[in-house]
Structure 1
Amino acid sequence: MKTINRIEFTIFIVLLALIIFRGLFLYQLDQTEQAVITRFGRIIKVDKTPGLGFKAPFIDTVNKFSKKILEYDTNPQVAVTKDKKTIIVDYYAKYRIEAPDKFLQRVRTQQGANTILDDVVYSAMRKEVGKYTLSQIIMGREEIPNLVINDLKALLPEYGLEIVDVRFKTTNFPQEVQASVFERMKAERLQMAQKYISEGEKEKIAIMADADKIKAELISKANMESQKIKGEGESIAVSLIQNAYAKAPELAFMIKYLETYGEIIKKEDTNIIISTKSDIFKILQDMEIR
């Protein structure tokens, strides 16, 4: 029994020693943590690797910071546009602690980070809003956060911070400028509508002009084709008549003879004296008998 008690006591002592050793000589980081090790207030190590790390007991301090993306939110702020209009902007930002050693030296806590962001983000936002007129902000306010991000990328590294995103939640106007804002928006929409109508009319006129031009070209082409076909037909007809005349000269003479008398007969008050022995008299006599 005494032997069993002695073994249990030994195990207890060993476990206690391990716990004390771990607390004094070791520290642990998970996937979401990073640490800055200081000795008497001086930074000796930055550790971003998950797992166990060694420290000197009593003289080393482990300062842990989050690796997660953190969110900064604030109350709506006032800014002035390029055309001296006051707007109220409600926005938020996302950031991470990129250099924990600088963060420890310049900021130390997340509350300290929020204090710095209050100043830096607002200053950048106010600066970028001041570059645009009220109308430009109304039409394309999504461009401003991107410009703010670019400004913060240059300003925040000295605090060990990295900006991830900036977004506007709402953009409002003081009561005294709301009426003028809505009137301006209405006027701009009407102007845009009139522009579209005008462009549509111009397009309509251009299309009709093109259609008339195509119509005229088609009619002209059809007339040319008709004249060509008519000319070819007349040419063929003349050729056939000439061939017929060539084969029967007497017929040709007779036809010409009749055509001449026909032209004479058409004239009013014209008397014709025909010999009873002439060929034309015989033809007319045959026609009368029939």
Structure 2
Amino acid sequence: MEVLDKVLSVDPNYIIIGLLAFFFTLEQILDNPFSFKKRGAHLFQNILFQIVFFAINLFFISVLIYCIEWLNSKEIGLLFLIELPFWAKLILSVVLFDFTTYWLHRASHKVPLLWRLHRVHHSDTTMDSSTTFRFHPIELAIVYQAGNIVAAAIFGLDVTSLALYYFIVYIFFFLEHSNLNYPNWLNNTLGLVFVMPDHHRVHHHLEQFYTDSNFADILIIWDRLFGTFKLIPVNQMHYGLIEFEGEKRQSFIYLMKSPFLNVKRIETDKSKAEIKEIST
């Protein structure tokens, strides 16, 4: 418990900055699966999203904590109906937050209003570690925080487990988005349970057939269980959304206002049959 308290007492902004510095540096000195230019400008654009999110989330995080603590004080949620050791409850709570996020993420691809916000993340045609920050602030501060409150109400989850979940999920986010070469054996070992970078790269494919897959953040078992798992070779990946190609539509200002614009989704001519899936 003491170790956990020390880990979770670290300012999450320091953790995020440290992870970005680590993975972005590796991208500059190691071989990359994709060759992208203007990494400095791309980094700056994506950091702007994080700055805006940080500013508006100062309020929403307070609301989130208040709501969860109120729910806990009333012992609302399934976990209050059973007795579990502290560590078992903590691990199960993290799993349940991940389970909830899977379904919320999946809904973000199917519900038009949610997709208007979420497509900002998928707009990146040159994905790297800084893409971790490319989320519309409204999506993170309101939609996902509301999802966390609902999860706490249903399952009886607490603030400590949520903090641990975010500590873990940010590590996965940087692993999954970084433009680095990862060994293939990861997919057939750890990738049987956990989300691997190659899994999440499929999710960022410009073909909607692949974009609408691999929704999990930490545990790929959700996609395997609910039929949304896909895997294709890395050399067949093409990132982004066709309707967001071009320097203007990759700009921070345009992406911030894009949820309020009628940007029609453009289907590509390439048939999904042309892309050979890896047998799973």
TM-score (norm 2): 0.23
Larger Rg: 1
Bigger share in strand: 1
Higher RCO (CA 8 Å, separation ≥ 6 residues) = 2
